Amino acid sequence: MAWRQFLVFDLDGTLIDSAPDIADAVNILLGELGKPALPLGDIKTMIGDGAPVLLARSLKASGLSHDAADLMPRFKTIYEAASTNRTVLYPKVREILEAFRQEGRHLSLCTNKPSVATRVVLDHFGLSALFHAVVGGDSLKERKPAKEPLLAAIIQSGGDPANASETAVMVGDSHTDLATAKAGGVPGIIIPSGYGRAADRESQGAYHEIARFADLPALLTELDH
């Protein structure tokens, strides 16, 4: 009998709906550069591969040739100051995470969101104490979909990557999270959110998909047997 003791979660689009605040930060910066705001729906599809990639995509969509790296400090300042204005937890997230902890599961976060902003959001929602480990987009040299952040999250929460295929699972919402799970050799659970590129069975192989976070406990029960 397998037991998924080590649960690794994505953040944006999986635990929280943060697109409105991210879009506001992008559009404030674009306004400073003399460009009109991009639609929320457009920015939502750009999220998931890290803030530098998001910013580069936004600049390109606005017809700007600026180097995203040069603008990252300003973008981080804007976003970190207002990262919880309109961000909300998805339904049942807190209750389910607390229940997982009570069951003895080890929870970790593996996100491409910068670490400072990640901590601000977790503290705001009172979730920080629920996670044994937090790996942000700037915690390592590599970001998702590389396997290193996922494996670091498993190790830091007390797991062994050597048997992660039987003891761990990656829960996310997009192509990036599924690719990360595949690279790290762990099962992937996808809850589609509209963030980033959609997961694709044809190109990435089998994975588990649920419609909402509230369906996660039942699926884990199946995977545990």
Judge whether 10 counts as a catalytic residue.
yes
Selected catalytic residue, list 10, 49, 173, 177: 10
The 10 Å Cβ neighbour count of residue 197 is: 14
Q: Count Cβ atoms below 10 Å from residue 128 Cβ, excluding itself.
A: 14
Three-class SS of residue 79? helix
Q: What is the DSSP letter of 130?
A: G
Spell out a b/e string for 71-98, using b for 16 or more CB atoms within 10 Å of the CB, else e: bbeebbebbbeebbeebebbeebeebbe
- Find tokens 């390592």 and name the residue: 140
> Catalytic amino acids?
10
